[in-house]
Amino acid sequence: MDQQSAKYKKLMAMLFYTARNTSVVAGLFSLIMCVLLLTTYIQLEVHDPLDNPVLTSMLEKVTANPDDQALREQLRAVDWLARKAYFTGQQQLAAGGTMLLVGAAVLSACLVFLFAFKKRFPDSLASNKLNNIWLKNTAARKVIALSGAGLAAAAVIIVILSHTLWRDYFPEMRASGGDSAGAADKNTSSENSQNDSIGQGAAAQLQSLPYSQTFISNWPNFRGPGGFGVAYTQKAPLRWDGAAGINIAWKVALSRSGFNSPIVWEDRLFISAADGQTQEVLCYDAGNGELLWQGQVNAIPGSPAVPPQITEDTGYAAPTMATDGSSVFALFATGDIICFDFQGQRRWARNLGMPDNHYGHSSSLLTYKNLLLIQYDQSQGSRVLALDTATGETVWETARSDVLTAWSSPILINYNNSSQLILQANPYVQGYDPDTGQELWRVECLMGEIGASPAYDNGMVFAANQFAVLAAIDLNTEQIVWQAYDDLPDASSPAAGNGHLFVATAYGVVTCYDTGRGDVLWQHEFEEGSYSSPVIVGDLVYLLNRAGTMYIFRAGSEFELLAAPELGEPSDCTPAFVNNRIYIRGRNHLFCIEETE
């Protein structure tokens, strides 16, 4: 019994010393972080990069000389540097505040343990003079406890300030969409015509793509033809109820998970699924939901024996498939890529190398002529490549060693009668020749973990990422013409058409911008946010939230919500719109919606 008591006493002493030493380290760490954060905060208040006399003077000159393009470019460059410095400081405050909060929490936990130890074992460590200070000096304990509480309060205040200060301090930037040069543009830019149909204007861009009429009237890849969120069809259902079965043409249960969105070609619908053990491609009859075939993705040379580590909201089958009308292509988190014909016969398969990606690979596929286009950005060895759709052999490959891991997908546009493949990742938006892989241009404007894909409208590319920027890039000059910084997307990709840009966030805010000037035309906050991307269908925008509610609102300069039908289950996938039908992949079911009632 005495031996057990000795061991117990030794264990408690060890715990005491560990808690005591950890509290000292946590206290010093928290104190240092608090000093650094307060110093940074004061510097931003005293020397605000946005309150720059040089910037103000240049803005006045541009306002007085709106046709001086050289001066305008200088203003944009200075404006961008000032905003980059400002938002870098804000990110430092946010990150440092979080670290301070963690340090204060560790200190508090240690102090709670030490006080509890004193109450239960008042004399067990009294022989040590230092321990006596911790255990018996009430004043010292109170000072330490109050210091810990003060540091925790300081952490909370700094985190809140770092998140909200800039919104309140610079409200005019929220209203204008950001860019100072864009503000000067307001009096000189031509007005976008409001008489044209936004949906027809957006769909007209599909006609310029290097695809057949059959291709653009189907849904061959993520976000439709070209991948920029515009449907060729001009009409889609407005009313349905997934739980009650109202206007549900068919509904089938899914046996395996996957966050890829459905693609549709005439009477065929395709999705992929994987669970870490099994990878498969599924083909359904688009008319009645019958499972036509189920292709197994296995026995691929180079495929990893152990699946990669992924997060639950990415999974093993995040990339949306693609089709060229005769074959379908699927890519998985393992790096396995496979091609089936429409009857379910394997044509070819290979492994691209397991992606070095801490969430799991999610960039979706595109087809172009006889090429399968793949954005393969990762921690090491990022690249964009094109495979021969008939053989799977690499036709061209371009290294992207100067970008970081990204989860965005490429889009294909037509600009000046020439096709361009547009990719975005930290820190660049880049255009490539899809025939050769040659880089055509680049603009440095992004930061962070890029999940959203670009949008395009009439010679303008729009790139955005949460906590970074929304940048409008004019392909004529390959320069940023306006920027915005508030309420930006996480995973949802923007959609643009005929002078309007629609941006949805993961926390429910949707913003409509004028694409030419960057003005905020309207903003609305919904109760639930979206990972799914908005799609322009005719004169309407369809946006599916994470709970399965479809927000249907007018694609116009004023917000008008027309309907909000319920799917009956959560979904993070972007719907497909073909022949007045909507196909949605929910968490547990695949739905076909057709308005008959």
Q: In this structure, what token pair is assigned to residue 95?
A: 């990150």
Q: Which long-range contacts (CB under 8 A, 24 or more apart) does 438-443 make?
A: 438/398, 439/398, 441/475, 441/478, 443/471, 443/473, 443/478, 443/479, 443/480
Please say whether the dihedral angle defined by the alpha carbons of residues 251, 254, 257 and 258, taken in this order, is positive or negative: negative
CB 264, CB 246: distance < 8 Å: no
Q: What is the pLDDT of residues 302-342, one digit of tens each?
A: 999 999 999 988 999 999 999 999 999 999 999 999 999 99
Other CB atoms within 10 Å distance of the CB of residue 546 = 19
On the question of pLDDT at 400 being above 70, the answer is: yes
- Kindly write down the DSSP assignment for every residue of 83-100, as one continuous string: HHHHHHHHHHHHHHHHHH
Closest CA to 72 of 482, 486, 442, 460: 482
Length of the chain: 597
For residues 167-178, average pLDDT: 37
Q: Where are the beta strands (DSSP E) in 176-277?
A: 248-253, 263-265, 268-274
Q: Name which residue leads in pLDDT, 388 or 55.
A: 388
Q: Is the pTM of this model over 0.85?
A: no
Q: What is the pLDDT of residues 74-100, one digit of tens each?
A: 655 565 566 556 556 656 666 777 777
Q: What is the pLDDT of residues 455-506, one digit of tens each?
A: 999 999 999 999 899 999 999 999 999 999 999 999 999 999 989 999 999 9
Q: Name which residue leads in pLDDT, 557 or 33.
A: 557
Residue type at 534? P
Give the pLDDT band of residue 164 (cuts 50, 70, 90). very low
For residues 355-359, average pLDDT: 90
d(CA 77, CA 26): 42
In 3-state terms, what secondary structure has residue 177?
coil
Q: What is the pLDDT of residues 222-263, one digit of tens each?
A: 999 999 999 999 999 999 999 999 999 999 999 999 999 999
Q: Name which residue leads in pLDDT, 62 or 388.
A: 388
User: Given this model, what pLDDT does residue 85 score?
Assistant: 62
d(CA 222, CA 542): 15
User: Given this model, what pLDDT does residue 520 score?
Assistant: 97
Residue type at 299? A
- In our burial notation (b when 16+ CB lie closer than 10 A, e otherwise), range 113-125 reads bbeebbeeeeeeb
Give the pLDDT band of residue 192 (cuts 50, 70, 90). very low
d(CA 103, CA 150): 12
Please say whether the dihedral angle defined by the alpha carbons of residues 376, 397, 455 and 286, taken in this order, is positive or negative: negative
Q: What is the pLDDT of residues 193-231, one digit of tens each?
A: 443 466 667 777 898 899 999 999 999 999 999 999 999
Closest CA to 354 of 309, 299, 321: 309
In 3-state terms, what secondary structure has residue 472?
strand
On the question of pLDDT at 157 being above 70, the answer is: no
Other CB atoms within 10 Å distance of the CB of residue 418 = 12
Spatial neighbors of 306 by CB under 8 A, at least 6 apart, are none
Q: Name which residue leads in pLDDT, 120 or 171.
A: 120
User: Given this model, what pLDDT does residue 597 score?
Assistant: 73
Burial class (CB in 10 A: 0-12, 13-18, 19+), 346: middle
Spatial neighbors of 95 by CB under 8 A, at least 6 apart, are none
Other CB atoms within 10 Å distance of the CB of residue 76 = 21
User: Given this model, what pLDDT does residue 233 score?
Assistant: 92
In 3-state terms, what secondary structure has residue 432?
strand
Measured CA to CA in angstroms, residue 78 lies from 66, 89, 133, 447 at distances of: 17, 17, 56, 18
Measured CA to CA in angstroms, residue 532 lies from 259, 566, 571, 589 at distances of: 10, 15, 8, 16
User: Given this model, what pLDDT does residue 83 score?
Assistant: 54
d(CA 181, CA 410): 29
Q: Spell out the domains of the chain, with CATH numbers in brackets.
A: 2-169 (no CATH), 198-593 (2.130.10.10)
User: Given this model, what pLDDT does residue 9 score?
Assistant: 64
Closest CA to 578 of 266, 228, 326: 266
For residue 502, the Cα-to-chain-centroid distance in whole angstroms is 15
First vs last Cα of the chain: how many Å apart? 80
For residues 119-141, average pLDDT: 54
d(CA 151, CA 157): 10
User: Given this model, what pLDDT does residue 34 score?
Assistant: 77
Q: What is the dihedral of CA 190, 194, 195, 200, to 10 degrees?
A: 100
Pairing of strands 589-593, 248-253: antiparallel
d(CA 213, CA 235): 17
User: Given this model, what pLDDT does residue 119 score?
Assistant: 63
For residue 441, the Cα-to-chain-centroid distance in whole angstroms is 23
In 3-state terms, what secondary structure has residue 543?
strand
For residues 108-112, average pLDDT: 78
d(CA 124, CA 434): 75
Q: Name which residue leads in pLDDT, 159 or 36.
A: 36
In 3-state terms, what secondary structure has residue 119?
helix
